[in-house]
A = this chain, B = another copy of it.
Amino acid sequence: MEKQTENGPTTNTIPRPTNPMVTPLLTDLYQYTMAYAYWKAGKHHERAVFDLFFRRSPFGGEYTVFAGLEECIRFIANFKFTEEEINFIRDALPGTCEEGFLDYLRQVDCSEVEVYAIAEGSVVFPRVPLIRVEGPVAVAQLLETTLVNLVNYASLVATNAARHRIVAGKSKMLLEFGLRRAQGPDGGISASRYCYLGGFDATSNVAAGRLFGIPLKGTHSHAFVSSFMSPDEIVEKSLCSADGSTTCQDFVGLVHTWLNKIQRTRLSIGSFGDTNLSELAAFTSYALAFPNNFLALVDTYDVLRSGIPNFCAVALALNDLRYKAIGVRLDSGDLAYLSCEARKFFQAIEKEFGVPDFGTMSIAASNDLNEETLDHLKKQGHEVDAFGIGTYLVTCYAQAALGCVFKLVEINNQPRMKLSEDVSKVSIPCKKRCYRLYGKEGYALVDLMVGENEPAPKVCTNQ
């Protein structure tokens, strides 16, 4: 466990929580009624130890990825009330509250609080304290709800991302596309951040890209495609070649030439009739805007009869100007089948027109993907290189909450525990140390919890 002690707020250089809404008021009212009662009883300074842990790994799985610690540290390091917050607390407390308590709150910070925690991003297991908070009981108590809130969802979604990564395999690109379906703005921002920590490669969320330096990915939507009527709309038709040596004055015409070539050629994939021209216009426009990064959503009308041939016509025109298209995205239909057909088409183009690497064009897939559908796709066989995953990932649809708790385990050096008729809710008393034991082969075997003052486990050399 790493130890992080705050040494007074005046010299504090730890930044504030990323979300400005994370303040000492982001907590349950009872933390304040308890703080007041502790203060009235003269108990508020008593030294308490709380463990933050969860009781069961999510998604029916055997592990959890611990996340949210940095925000907890930021919150603790900057814990201080504004006068406005203190006034609100006065009004929020039931009955009349003595001014002395508010004076006490005015000087509260976490300078007497010690935080011990497992490193963020670690794989962790039930009942092991992820964070241990030691400090004056009233202050430690005030931190409870916020810390639990910051760890719960962060760890849940990081674990979800890790599970998706394991199913998808190391070679696939995983993109988090969940912002629009996330539980509120910062459900979205947290999702992007902690999915990246859990093993995703990039996000579509621009704000998360800016805040955390996560790589950003995205192309265009169906609306973009359907906003075009025909290629006649395109006014600026010229495109300079990639090396700047020549300029094609009529890129739209070049695309048409290629479309005709593809249509006339008997590709192994079979023939097709007229493609949708509004789609062709949209793709052409997008290529004119991003000739180095042409990636097209191909399922607005018909993937195999329109989207793929239109994409290929534009990609081949780009190729004439030495640009290399990136690929396509599928957002509906039978993703396994469509990706395989698209791959065959690309390979046929490569062969027919002698365009190197055209067959390895990237195929991205989205549309309500989750751990289960990734697994199904794998079993069916597919040609998808990148998965864009949203709703099920970021809302943790399969289990929308991790039950992190924050339990008093010691006060004034006396062990405390919560009893319950529900055995799983009984807490383990005392300050603990936790060791992860590794076997000879370097794999973790077990996490061992011992009392703070018990001897550390020793390596047995004569096995």
Contacts and interface: CB of A to CB of B under 8 A. Distances in A.
Contact of A149 (B145, B188, B302, B403): B188
Contacts of A48: 227
Interface stretch (A165-173, A292-300, A440-448): A292-300
Contact of A41 (B21, B148, B235, B401): B235
A204 interface: yes
A206 B28 contact: yes
Contact of A289 (B29, B40, B221): B40
B418 A19 contact: no
A190 B184 contact: yes
A229 B149 CA distance: 29
A94 B36 contact: no
Given A137-B227, A182-B183, A234 B41 contact: yes
B88 A210 contact: yes
Interface stretch (A122-130, A263-271, A371-379, A409-417): A409-417
B183 A28 contact: no
Contacts of A50: 223
B400 A205 contact: no
Q: Report the interface size class on chain A.
A: 35 or more
A291 B95 contact: yes
Interface in A46-98: 46, 48, 50, 88-89, 92, 94-95
Among A20, A38, A417, which residue has the most Cβ atoms of chain B within 10 A?
A38
Contacts of A88: 206, 209-210
B180 A40 contact: no
B180 A148 contact: yes
Nearest to A93: B290
Contacts of A28: 177, 179-180, 204-206, 218
Interface string A197-231: 00000001111011000001111111110111100
A419 interface: yes
Nearest to A329: B30
Contacts of A293: 94-95
A254 to B, nearest CB: 17
A288 B332 contact: no
Contacts of A257: none
Contact of A422 (B42, B217, B236, B333): B333
A422 B149 contact: no
A396 B37 CA distance: 34
Given A36-B289, A209-B29, A92 B182 contact: no
A159 interface: no
A26 interface: yes
Given A46-B227, A416-B227, A218 B33 contact: yes
Nearest to A87: B210
Contact of A42 (B17, B22, B235): B235
B179 A145 contact: yes
B299 A219 contact: no
Interface in A398-455: 399-404, 406-408, 411, 414, 416-422, 425
Nearest to A323: B95
A290 B33 contact: yes
A351 interface: no
A397 B150 CA distance: 18
A21 to B, nearest CB: 5
Among A32, A88, A216, which residue has the most Cβ atoms of chain B within 10 A?
A216
A187 interface: yes
Contacts of A185: 17, 19, 21-22, 26, 146, 149-150, 186
B27 A206 contact: yes
A210 to B, nearest CB: 5
A152 to B, nearest CB: 6
Among A28, A31, A186, A421, which residue has the most Cβ atoms of chain B within 10 A?
A28
A348 interface: no
12 contacts: A29-B218, A30-B221, A34-B221, A41-B289, A94-B293, A95-B292, A181-B403, A181-B404, A184-B190, A223-B406, A229-B414, A400-B400
Shortest Cβ-Cβ A-B pairs, 3 listed: A29-B218, A30-B218, A94-B293
